[in-house]
Structure 1
Amino acid sequence: MTITVERPTANARTLITPQLLGRLVARIRADHPQHAHQADQIMEQALAFLATCAANPDARLGPSELVDIGWHTFILYTKEYAEFCFRAAGRFIHHQPDDAPGESAGGGPAATMTAMKRAGYRVDLTLWPHSAKCNQKCSQCHEGCVDST
């Protein structure tokens, strides 16, 4: 007999202070008004993505286009972003464009979503491309950005 115990989903929002989360969400709403209704989810998924990068330093994980908005926004707050990176990963999580995303060694968003689930984070499918789309046109994100150690 096999007993399966489901691991509780980690809450990515707790990775930063509520005050910083509020500032980041407000910044997304101001800078990306077309996504204002999703700003909270974008930031939550960006934090889950970054925590997954921290837990998988050798994987070339990449965000979806919408999740990348959250990453770009967080990077603007350089002091807080650097502190988060060193606290979560023990290193700076670099945001580096992949100049040839179609030839990337990474598995694209599908692999990233799998890694996020394995790390215990919820994946909001409204912010991530479906794997069928991924296989047809995978560029990691609109900028071809990956975590590069």
Structure 2
Amino acid sequence: MTITHAGQAEVLGLISPALRARLITDVRKNWPDLTDDMGERGVNQTAAFLVTSARTTETLTPSLRVDAFWHRFILRSQDYAAFSERLGAGFIHHFPDPSEQTDPVKGRAALERATAAIAAAGFTIDAEFWPGMGAAECTQCHAGCTDSPVNT
């Protein structure tokens, strides 16, 4: 099944409860005080980011918290590849760019672009996962820790 223009609930449902639990457990290894509720919300924000990234050629940057979930999702490569395929976007690549970490102004602007795109795609922005302050460690393309605008 390929999802091209689905609603928020349908897209978030692409990650099964079992996979959600595994991702939360994985992220909790580096974030021990992560609650189950925050974990669910983190999976949702990561899915929203990835779906939006798959639907645009724009460079999008995840927040540090979203990036933590994205990294763990990528490590579960079969699940991640299947998720990407169901979006009809090909594999959504991740491109780290340490230069984003050193410029807080660029980092904030990148996060603002990402949250605007995610909201425009019909997803709810969870402010705890998209802080307004500080630099981002990633972006969505070759310009930073991003998803590639050319998915394969």
Range of TM-score over shorter length: 0.7 to 0.9
Q: Is the 8 A contact 2:48 2:118 kept in 1?
A: yes
Q: Distance in 1 between matches of 2:88 and 2:64?
A: 23
How do 1:48-127 residues align onto structure 2 when only pairs under 5 Å count? 48-56=48-56, 58-101=57-100, 102=103, 107-127=109-129
Residue by residue over 1:35-71, the C-alpha shift from the partner in whole angstroms, topping out at 9 and shown as x without a partner, is: 3452221111111110111111x11101000111110
How do 1:8-87 residues align onto structure 2 when only pairs under 5 Å count? 10-11=8-9, 12-36=11-35, 38-56=38-56, 58-87=57-86
Q: Distance in 2 between matches of 1:87 and 1:25?
A: 21
TM norm structure 1: 0.77
Superposition RMSD on alpha carbons, in Å? 2.6
Q: CA deviation at 1:32?
A: 2.0
In structure 1, stretches of 5+ residues that fail to align are: 1-8
Q: CA deviation at 1:140?
A: 4.8
Q: CA deviation at 1:34?
A: 3.4
Name the count of aligned residue pairs: 134
Residue by residue over 1:53-109, the C-alpha shift from the partner in whole angstroms, topping out at 9 and shown as x without a partner, is: 1111x11101000111110110110001011112114311111112432497xx511
Q: Is the 8 A contact 2:53 2:147 kept in 1?
A: yes
Q: Is the 8 A contact 2:60 2:114 kept in 1?
A: yes
Task: Give 1:50's aligned amino acid.
Answer: L
TM norm structure 2: 0.76
Secondary structure of 1:100's counterpart equals: helix
Change (3 A) 1:29 1:140: closer
Q: State the identity %.
A: 34
Q: Distance in 1 between matches of 2:86 and 2:117?
A: 20
Greater Rg by CA:
1
Q: Distance in 1 between matches of 2:88 and 2:137?
A: 21
Task: Give 1:20's aligned amino acid.
Answer: L
Q: Distance in 2 between matches of 1:93 and 1:123?
A: 21
